[in-house]
Amino acid sequence: MFLSCAIAGTKWGIQIVAALFFLQEKKWLFIKKIGFTCLAGSCILLPYCLLEQIRLTDKSFLISLIVAVMVMIVLYYNVVKQTAIATKWFWGWVGCLAIAISLQLFVVFNIV
């Protein structure tokens, strides 16, 4: 679990550090808004973590993860548009997300 959290935290940490270095006057608004995106994704995963009935359902983890990722993609894209920053921020995050998910699947959960 520590490794899983470290991978997810690193993905968000990279975005925060990049914002602090490159966004000047928009950095705090951007960080606040991506913080909400992160919170939303985490909250979507909570039922899987807290409710045994959901955990015992076949493929519930995969479904929870897909829903969380899809919601975060939409929210992150909206953050980029709302803060009027370049879409390369969105694509950079999508790249980090792809790497993080790959690491989770291959290294942490040995699913693939």
Burial of 4 (0-12, 13-18, 19+ CB in 10 A): middle
pLDDT of residue 61: 75
Interval 75-106: pLDDT, tens: 999 999 999 999 999 999 999 999 988 888 88
CA 78/CA 48 separation, integer angstroms? 26
50 domain-assigned: no
8 domain-assigned: yes
On the question of pLDDT at 107 being above 90, the answer is no
CB 63 within 8 A of CB 70: no
Range list of H helices, 1-112: 2-22, 27-50, 52-55, 60-82, 88-103
Q: Which two tokens stand for residue 7?
A: 């991978």
Domain of residue 99, residue span: 2-43+69-108
Highest mean pLDDT of the ranges 3-12, 23-32, 102-111: 23-32
27 domain-assigned: yes
CA 99/CA 112 separation, integer angstroms? 14
Interval 13-60: pLDDT, tens: 999 999 999 999 999 999 999 999 999 998 988 887 776 777 677 777
100 domain-assigned: yes
18 domain-assigned: yes
Distances from the Cα of 23 to the Cα of 1, 31, 96, 112, angstroms:
32, 10, 18, 37
32 domain-assigned: yes
Counting the structural domains of the chain, the total is 1
